[in-house]
């Protein structure tokens, strides 16, 4: 091995080198950086791209898509309670059954409307609804009783588990407390 090759190999053992103001090359061993609390002088890798935050269970995020089954014709929602689901099959089953729907136009065509929701606080009221059902109280009445408390808490949506109308398992129903302000129709069925 020639002297030149030996010097190059020796330089390779050094992590960092630079030319100083004095015109000389300066080198640092890896142990120098270990003493300073760094494992090496190698550049730090770029930070990973942060993952988007997970949706909070107690929030409806802006632009969340829901479905509403109905036989009524309308361009916008009126004040009152509006039942929503993330499953279009469930919404369609409620629209097709006037007993389940509980309102709408008699003999109207069943349709599923795709809804876009504004962001808002959501509260699970499953226990309250189950207690109400045990006392033969309609979920609408349970929500009406809870409304003053929900309003103080700034809740825009409530959710609870509901028996499937489409033949499946229970599903989560979301009820908009302010549909006229929080919901917009994306697509009519």
pLDDT tens-place string over residues 87-133: 999 988 888 876 666 555 556 788 899 999 999 999 999 999 999 88
Could you say which DSSP state residue 106 is in? T
Q: How many domains is the chain built from? A: 2
pLDDT of residue 173: 92
CA distances from 87 to 44, 54, 123, 171, 172 (A): 46, 21, 19, 9, 9
Q: Are residues 27 and 85 in the same domain?
A: no
Instruction: State the Cα–Cα distance between residues 81 and 93, nearest whole angstrom.
Output: 19
Question: What pLDDT band is residue 14 in, cutting at 50, 70 and 90?
Answer: very low
Containing 130, the helix (H) or strand (E) segment is helix 126-134
Name the pTM for this structure. 0.67
pLDDT at 163: 84
Residue 45 within a domain: no
Residue 53 lies in a domain: no
For residues 128-142, average pLDDT: 89
Tens of pLDDT, residue by residue over 29-79, are 555 545 555 555 555 556 676 666 665 668 888 989 999 988 888 888 899
The predicted structure's pLDDT at residue 65: 93
Residues 93, 31 within the same domain = no
Q: Is residue 134 part of a domain?
A: yes
Give the three-class secondary structure for 73.
coil
Residues 150 and 106 in one domain: yes
Structural domain of 102: 59-187
Query: For 142-153, what is the mean pLDDT?
Result: 93
Q: Are residues 19 and 93 in the same domain?
A: no
């Amino acid at each position: 091995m020639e002297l030149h090759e030996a010097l190059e190999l020796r330089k390779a053992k050094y992590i960092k080198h630079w030319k100083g103001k004095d015109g000389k090359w300066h080198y640092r061993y890896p142990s120098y950086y270990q003493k300073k609390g760094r494992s090496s002088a190698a550049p730090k890798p770029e930070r990973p791209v942060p993952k988007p935050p997970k949706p909070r269970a107690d929030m409806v995020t802006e632009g969340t898509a829901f479905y509403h089954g109905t036989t009524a014709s309308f361009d916008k929602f009126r004040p009152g309670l509006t039942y929503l689901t993330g499953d279009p099959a469930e919404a369609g089953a409620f629209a097709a059954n006037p007993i389940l729907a509980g309102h709408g136009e008699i003999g109207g065509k069943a349709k599923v409307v795709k809804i876009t929701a504004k962001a808002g606080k959501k509260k699970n009221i499953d226990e309250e609804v189950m207690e109400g059902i045990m006392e033969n109280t309609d979920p609408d009445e349970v929500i009406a009783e809870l409304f003053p408390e929900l309003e103080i808490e700034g809740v825009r949506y409530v959710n609870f588990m509901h028996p499937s109308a489409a033949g499946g398992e229970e599903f989560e129903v979301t009820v908009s407390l302010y549909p006229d302000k929080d919901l917009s129709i994306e697509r009519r069925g």
